Amino acid sequence: MSAAAPLLEVKGVTLQYRVGNVAVTATYRVDFNVEQSDRFVILGASGCGKSSLLKAVGGYLKPTEGSIKIGGRAINHPGADRMMVFQEFDQLLPWKTVRQNIVFPLLATRKLNAREADDKAMHYINLAGLERVAESYPHMLSGGQKQRVAIVRGMAMEPEILLMDEPFAALDALTRQRMQDELLALWDASRFTVLFVTHSISEAVKIGSRILLLSPHPGQVRAELNSLPRPQDPVASVALQDKIHQLLFPGEETAQS
């Protein structure tokens, strides 16, 4: 741990939704810090408020209690320093080609001029092996390709942190595995900081460098663990997954797969 302030500091964050007249608590006094180049995974069953937590970091949701700071600055609204990757396939702008989809945020935020944005987009398109679909419209892509574009679009912005909300959950199992490997390969290439939300224990162990476990109703921190160094030993991986399962579902038999 460095002595300097963490990149992302989440301190005592309580999130509440208003449903009719009732305030539903999504998370209760959650603390965690994300450091530079972390692959930080928030893991929990549905209803633990992990997506709400990510949306709060994204600036879409105001905490009723506690604070969220990025680089020491409080988060008040959505911003391009925190690029989101959503679960839904419709997150790409359907009226723009793959290349235009990646160029657009670079221009809209006045980060780069048109030529630089184009060069940057092509660099990342090549990095992700999307050359063949660069001029295609999103509706011509498969689900996996769409998510790949969404990730690349986020990476090309070179944000301080990339926020991913179960980006692989809607993919088939084979594609999901490939996308996880590709995400790790992309991380190896540029070591970006990523905050990744998932409900899959195996995905958390595979993707994460550090894993935050949330217990549900309302979401509270159960544990914060280090994941395994890569390449991961399969036996150690299964052991860690069992340990996480025990922590999340105490008293239950370990699921053997």
User: Looking at beta carbons only, is 105 or 218 nearer to another protein?
Assistant: 105
How far from chain centre, in Å, is Cα 37? Answer: 13
Between the alpha carbon of residue 229 and those of residues 129, 204, 206, 235, 239, the distances in Å are: 26, 13, 10, 13, 14
Minimum CB distance to another protein, residue 246 (Å): 33
Minimum CB distance to another protein, residue 114 (Å): 15
Minimum CB distance to another protein, residue 206 (Å): 26
- Hey, what amino acid is at 178? R
User: Looking at beta carbons only, is 90 or 224 nearer to another protein?
Assistant: 90
Minimum CB distance to another protein, residue 181 (Å): 24
Do 207 and 197 meet the contact criterion of CB atoms below 8 Å apart? no
Between the alpha carbon of residue 154 and those of residues 53, 162, 219, the distances in Å are: 19, 7, 27
User: Looking at beta carbons only, is 80 or 127 nearer to another protein?
Assistant: 80
Minimum CB distance to another protein, residue 59 (Å): 8
Of residues 144, 150, 209, 155, the one with CA closest to residue 177? 144
* Interface residues toward another protein, by CB under 8 A: 58, 60, 77-80, 82-84, 86, 88, 90-91, 93-95, 104-105, 108-109, 137-140
Do 25 and 18 meet the contact criterion of CB atoms below 8 Å apart? no
126-130 — which CB contacts under 8 Å span 24+ positions?
A: 127/152, 127/186, 127/189, 128/152, 128/182, 128/186, 130/98
Minimum CB distance to another protein, residue 154 (Å): 9
Residue 80 to residue 135: CA distance in whole angstroms: 24
User: Looking at beta carbons only, is 10 or 57 nearer to another protein?
Assistant: 57
What is the token pair recorded at 164? 């991913």
Do 150 and 88 meet the contact criterion of CB atoms below 8 Å apart? no
Other residues' Cβ atoms within 10 Å of the Cβ of residue 229:
9
User: Looking at beta carbons only, is 140 or 185 nearer to another protein?
Assistant: 140
User: Looking at beta carbons only, is 157 or 201 nearer to another protein?
Assistant: 157
User: Looking at beta carbons only, is 2 or 76 nearer to another protein?
Assistant: 76
Helices vs. strands in the chain: H and E counts, helices first: 7, 10
Minimum CB distance to another protein, residue 135 (Å): 12
